[in-house]
Amino acid sequence: MIRMTPTQSIRNAPVTGMSAKLADHPVSPGGAPRAESEPAFAVEVKGLTKVYGGQGGERLALDRVDLEIPRGSLFALLGPNGAGKSTLINILAGLVLKTAGTARVWGIDIDRDPRGARAAIGVVPQELNIDPFFTPRALLEIQAGMYGVPKAERRTAEILAALGLADQADVYPRRLSGGMRRRLLVAKAMVHDPPVLVLDEPTAGVDIELRQQLWAYVRRLNRNGTTVLLTTHYLEEAEQICDRIAIIDRGRVLCCEDKTALLQRIDAKELTVRLAADAAAVPGALMRFGAALKGPRTLTVHYRPSAAPMAEILAAIQASGLPVADVTTTESDLEDIFLQLTRAARREAGAP
Ligand code: ADP
Ligand code: MG
């Protein structure tokens, strides 16, 4: 009889380099068959409100948040510190009690079936809190036990290998680097094979190389069907990794849409033309594009890509006979959109 072990299913796995290992190791989470009727939304939140009580008075951390995270998406919850990201996640994970509203994880209402909802989600917490008395292998076994994963179905070695921790399986946490601890927490979150994986500020304090490895793994999980929700206050991160983004500030969701749609929202680009000789005035043909001289040799054109195609502008510049030395364009990025939205929301609220 031929016995198949998980490692035999590794395809195209180069033997060198940690990132290659992380990226190419097959990940079964998400690849396993899910319930026959999968929900359209991996997470569905309506009117979610959280008021923390305390000595310093009450604090509104979430203010009637509505949010839908489509199944299969790689979703970013983007917002500054204190926006309410961790609160939202911790409510979904059953770690914080909500004040009002409803929340469903994988179609399961957290009030009606808290255990079921918890089983559908794996959370990698913001804090690197790891029990120092257990090795990674022991930690995953305990976690599996807590989730009631039968011994025969546990994939401890496979998960450790997928996260590049096979060599550290029996090492005590104090010997693990920060990056290894972060990966161990990811491993811990995947033990019960949840269809929804949440990473709360996963790259805080993580070096660039590890960040790449982590993203490679997360992308792979996502390709295999796991819905990924990550919180971040790095715009770049959301822009690079995610396909859908919600912006949250002061407990309120300011927008939630596909990344490309969001980026197109600011339909504005700037074109800068460096001239090889001084120009005295803006050529008439360029006036209709709102061209302006920023200096004798610098001409800028602000345009809406949807209204004036780049080719048309370039043709007009060429026809004008200007001695062009160089042309550069700047796109609006998420940072612009983010600042616009948060400023507008704060103005509306009469806040500083
Ligand atoms: P984020 O994760 O986006 O940085 P948090 O959800 O941690 O934001 O916090 C949102 C708001 O709630 C902040 O104003 C924070 O100070 C407050 N807050 C968070 N946790 C608690 C708590 N346990 N008790 C009181 N206030 C809290
Ligand atoms: Mg947080």
- DSSP of 321-350, one letter per residue? T--EEEEEEEE--HHHHHHHHHHHHHHHTT
Q: Is residue 202 very low, low, confident or very high in pLDDT (cuts 50, 70, 90)?
A: confident
pLDDT at 6 over 50: no
Residue-wise pLDDT for 49-78, tens only, equals 999 997 878 999 999 999 999 999 999 999
Provide the pLDDT confidence category of residue 333 given band limits of 50, 70 and 90: low
- And the tokens for 269? 């680009």
Atom of ligand 1 nearest to the CA of 200: 2
pLDDT at 5 over 60: no
> Whole-prediction pTM value?
0.75
Query: CA-CA distance, 90 to 264, in Å (whole number)?
Result: 32
Other C-beta atoms closer than 10 Å to the C-beta of 87 total 22
Query: Atom 16 of ligand 1 has which residue's CA nearest to it?
Result: 82
CA 85 to ligand 1 centroid distance, Å: 8
Mean pLDDT of 330-350: 73
Structural domain 19-263, CATH architecture: 3-Layer(aba) Sandwich (3.40)
What is the CA(169)–ligand 2 centre distance, in A?
29
Q: Does residue 224 carry a pLDDT above 70?
A: yes
C-beta of residue 322 within 8 angstroms of C-beta of residue 270:
no
pLDDT at 13 over 70: no
* Bridge partners (DSSP) listed for residue 43: 69, 105
The per-residue pLDDT for 305 is 72
Does 203 sit in the ligand 1 pocket, CB within 6 Å? no
Pocket of ligand 1 contains residue 82 by CB under 6 Å? yes
pLDDT band at 228, cuts 50/70/90?
very high
pLDDT value of position 223: 95
Q: Which long-range contacts (CB under 8 A, 24 or more apart) does 52-59 make?
A: none
- Residue-wise pLDDT for 156-186, tens only, equals 999 999 888 999 999 999 999 888 888 899 9
The pLDDT value recorded for residue 190 is 93
The closest ligand to the CA of 96 turns out to be 1
What pLDDT score does 267 carry? 62
User: Which region among 131-140, 264-273, 296-305 has the lowest average model confidence (pLDDT)?
Assistant: 264-273
Give the residue range(s) of CATH 3.30.70 domains in the chain.
267-331
Q: What's the pLDDT score for residue 104?
A: 98
Show the tokens assigned to 268: 């504005």
Nearest CA to ligand 1 atom 19: 87
205 CA distance to ligand 2 middle (Å): 14
Q: Which CATH class is domain 267-331?
A: alpha beta
CA of residue 206 to ligand 2 center, whole Å: 16
Q: Tell me what pLDDT residue 288 has.
A: 82
Q: Across 50-59, 77-86, 99-108, 225-234, which has the greatest mean pLDDT? A: 99-108
pLDDT, one tens digit per residue, over 288-302 is 887 889 899 999 887
Portions of the chain given CATH number 3.40.50.300: 19-263
- For ligand 2, the distance from its centroid to the CA atom of residue 330, given in whole angstroms, is 31
- Nearest atom in ligand 1 to the alpha carbon of residue 126 is 2
Q: Which of 49, 50, 52, 232 to mutate to test the pocket of ligand 1 (most atoms within 8 A of CB)?
A: 52
CA of 109 to the centre of ligand 2 (A): 23
Quote the pLDDT of residue 352.
58
Question: For residue 32, is pLDDT > 60?
Answer: no
Q: Is 87 in the pocket of ligand 1 (CB under 6 A)?
A: yes
Is the pLDDT at 11 greater than 70? The verdict is no
